[in-house]
Amino acid sequence: MTTDHRSQPRPVTLEHVARAAGVSRATVSRVINGEATVDPRLRKLVEEAITQTRYVPNRAARSLVTRRTDSVALVVSEQEQRDITGPFIGRIFTDPYFGRVAGGLLDVLRPRGVQVVLMLADDEASRAQLLGYLQQGHVDGVVLISSHAADPLPGLLAGTTLPAVLAGRPQAAATASLTYVDSDQVAGARLAADHLTSIGRRRLGTIAGPQDMPVAQERLAGFRGALEERGLREVAVAEGDFTQASGGDGIRALLARRPDLDGVFVASDLMALGAVTMLHRLGKRVPEDVAVVGFDDSSSALASDPPLTTVRQPVEEMAAEMARLLLRQIAGGSTDDGDGADGGDGAAPERPSSSVLFRPALVVRGSA
């Protein structure tokens, strides 16, 4: 039995999509490559045409020409030998922040056929192994979550030509070339201070994050600075580690130092959930006795009883912006359309200097 290949449907190409959308082939290519310079109206036409024609990019041909893998790494880097509750990998999957980042990345990358590879590094050996893997071309770029000022990985990445976007502002001069996305942590903490004082709370404390982490330093500085402007310089401080258990321990420590505490700013919702739970156990009413404000507006805020008043940083939107910035860097290295007809020369992409800072917002619920 022979097969009549003439009866088999021919694959849909960029030309088919371009004709369906009424645009040029080059415009279709730019949309598929995630370039930010495409007019939104034309982008919508192309995306509708892709759906209509059921176009599937020729990933094999594209990879041969561009040497791109259509995958990016989400790298979570943790400082070595931190005294923190639970194993590293366990914390990754229980902290709402990481899931929100992954969701925001996938919203942008998945429709473009780009896969996300989760990679973890928590000591010198794993960082060296990870850097070797990245430099061997297994992924097209990196989104890096690195929380500690002493972490060498951002500096190591900055010394390569690999497209990379950092979650959070770089802390060292050696990493200044890295593109980043962050929210204004100081401004967010000031919102918490403004709210607590506006509802008449004066005997205040805070459960800060680990002070070797720039994000925790900025939130503590913002809270203290706003209170000092109001003449409130005596602020009780306990340090947690962004886990729920440390929030409970932190509120115990604050009450031991200041039994008349009537308001507390907690540097993450997960810690705030632990603080509220412990306050209930100690016979304290929330918010009547102690008002609580968290930070993040994560799922932990709604799991609390009462639901947390919190400072919202739009993590999903921030992650989506990280993905767009990374795609822009990757596209800078090649403009191939994926059909193997013509493409870039494989040169290393230049890192754009543009970075994005999001503004936080206060979400008022029942805890304060």
Taking alpha carbons only, the member of 296, 304, 317 closest to residue 216 is: 296
Closest to 294 measured CA to CA, from 244, 336, 258: 244
Domains, the chain:
11-56 (1.10.260.40), 66-183+315-342 (3.40.50.2300), 185-313 (3.40.50.2300)
Interatomic CA distance for residues 308 and 311, integer angstroms? 9
- Can you give the pLDDT at residue 62? 53
Reference 192, options 95, 122, 297, 72; nearest CA is 297
Q: State pLDDT tens for residues 306-341.
A: 999 999 999 999 999 999 999 999 887 443 333 333
Q: Tell which wins on pLDDT, 299 or 95.
A: 299
Residue 98: per-residue pLDDT: 86
What is the pLDDT confidence band of residue 1, given thresholds at 50, 70 and 90?
Answer: very low
pLDDT score at 361: 97
Tell me how far CA of residue 334 lies from CA of 63, 137, 192, 198, 346, in angstroms.
11, 15, 45, 54, 6
Q: Where is pLDDT greater, at 165 or 111?
A: 165
Q: Let me know: does 73 contact 134? Beta carbons within 8 Å.
A: yes
More confident residue, 285 or 347: 285
Asked if residues 224 and 247 have their Cβ atoms less than 8 Å apart, the reply is no
The type of residue at 193 is A
* Number of C-beta neighbours around residue 366 at 10 A: 13
DSSP secondary structure string for all residues of 46-102: HHHHHHHHT----HHHHHHHH---SEEEEEEE--TT---SS-HHHHHHH-HHHHHHH
From edge to edge, which strands make up the β-sheet containing 236-239? 236-239, 204-208, 263-266, 291-296, 309-312, 361-363
Whether the per-residue pLDDT at 251 is higher than 50: the answer is yes
What is the rounded average pLDDT of the residues 288-298? Answer: 97
Q: What is the pLDDT of residues 41-93, one digit of tens each?
A: 888 898 888 888 888 765 554 544 446 778 999 999 876 544 444 455 556 66
Confidence of residue 172 (pLDDT cuts 50, 70, 90): low
Q: How far apart are CA 305 and CA 198, in angstroms?
A: 22
Mean pLDDT is highest, among 105-109, 156-160, 363-367, for 363-367
pTM for the whole thing? Answer: 0.75
Determine what percent of the chain falls in helix, strand and coil, rounding each to the nearest 5: 45, 15, 40
Nearest to 317 by CA among 361, 350, 349: 361
CA–CA distance, 102 with 99 (Å, rounded to integer): 5
- Res 32 pLDDT > 90: no
